[in-house]
């Protein structure tokens, strides 16, 4: 299990590093947060796969570690901010003539 844990950690660091290097504009979070998420996901995903498969298939455990690392690292990606544009649902300018206390929704 020690060798597998080292391989899981290397897979996690490789996944996080590849994500940060390949798409730096998608990962606006701190680089250590992205790498740490990938590392932790690979270790936990690999350990769960190892124990659920009773250690019989180490290649499957490594593949599960890579999958878990990729999926959880992708949650940090922000493609909507990659072009430098704010999401469409935020920060709308106020229309002239409207007052903040007015109701914007129809009465039920």
Percent helix, percent strand, percent coil in the chain, to nearest 5: 60, 0, 40
- For residue 103, pLDDT over 60 is answered with no
The answer to whether the predicted template modeling score (pTM) of the entire model surpasses 0.85 is no
Task: Summarize pLDDT for 1-56 with one digit per residue, the tens.
Answer: 889 999 999 999 999 999 999 888 888 777 889 899 999 999 999 999 999 999 89
C-alpha of 6 from chain center: 22
Looking at residue 37, what is its pLDDT?
93
CB burial of 52-65 (b: ≥16 within 10 Å; e: otherwise) equals: eeeeeebeebbebb
């Amino acid at each position: 299990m020690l060798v597998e844990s080292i391989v899981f950690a290397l897979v996690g660091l490789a996944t996080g590093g590849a994500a940060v290097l390949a798409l730096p504009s998608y990962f606006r979070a701190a680089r250590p947060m992205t790498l740490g998420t990938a590392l932790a996901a690979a270790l936990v995903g690999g350990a769960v796969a190892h124990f659920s498969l009773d250690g019989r298939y180490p290649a499957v455990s490594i593949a599960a570690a890579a999958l878990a690392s990729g999926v959880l690292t992708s949650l940090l990606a922000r493609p909507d901010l990659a072009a430098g544009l704010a999401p469409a649902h935020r920060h709308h300018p106020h229309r002239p003539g409207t007052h903040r206390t007015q109701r914007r929704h129809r009465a039920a």
